[in-house]
Amino acid sequence: MPAKRSNPNTMHRAGELRRELTPAERKLWAYLRGDKLNGVSFRRQHAIGNFIPDFVSIKRKLIIELDGSQHLEQSEYDAERSRYFESQGYKVIRFWNNQVENDIAGVVRAIEVALNEK
What mean pLDDT is predicted for residues 17-23? 83
Is the dihedral angle over the CA atoms 43, 56, 9, 75 positive or is it negative?
negative
- pLDDT value at position 60? 96
Contacts of 117 (CB under 8 A, 6+ apart): 91
Residues 95/67, Cβ–Cβ less than 8 Å? yes
Residue 3 DSSP class: P
What mean pLDDT is predicted for residues 99-110? 97
Q: Is the pLDDT of residue 1 over 50?
A: no
Q: Is the pLDDT of residue 9 over 60?
A: yes
Average pLDDT, the chain: 88
Residue 42 DSSP class: -
Q: Is the pLDDT of residue 116 over 50?
A: yes
Enter the pTM of the model.
0.85
Q: Is 65 helix (H, G, I), strand (E, B) or coil?
A: strand
Q: Is the pLDDT of residue 12 over 80?
A: no
Q: Tell me the per-residue pLDDT of 22-33, one tens digit each, with 9 for 90 and over.
A: 999 999 999 999
Closest CA to 49 of 67, 59, 63: 63
Residue 103 pairs with which residues in a beta bridge? none
Report CA-CA distances (Å) from 67 to 6, 81, 86.
23, 13, 18
* Structural domains for the chain: 8-117 (3.40.960.10)
Rounded to 5°, the CA angle 73-93-106 comes to 105
Q: Tell me the per-residue pLDDT of 48-92, one tens digit each, with 9 for 90 and over.
A: 998 999 999 999 999 999 988 664 567 788 889 999 999 999 999
- pLDDT value at position 8? 75
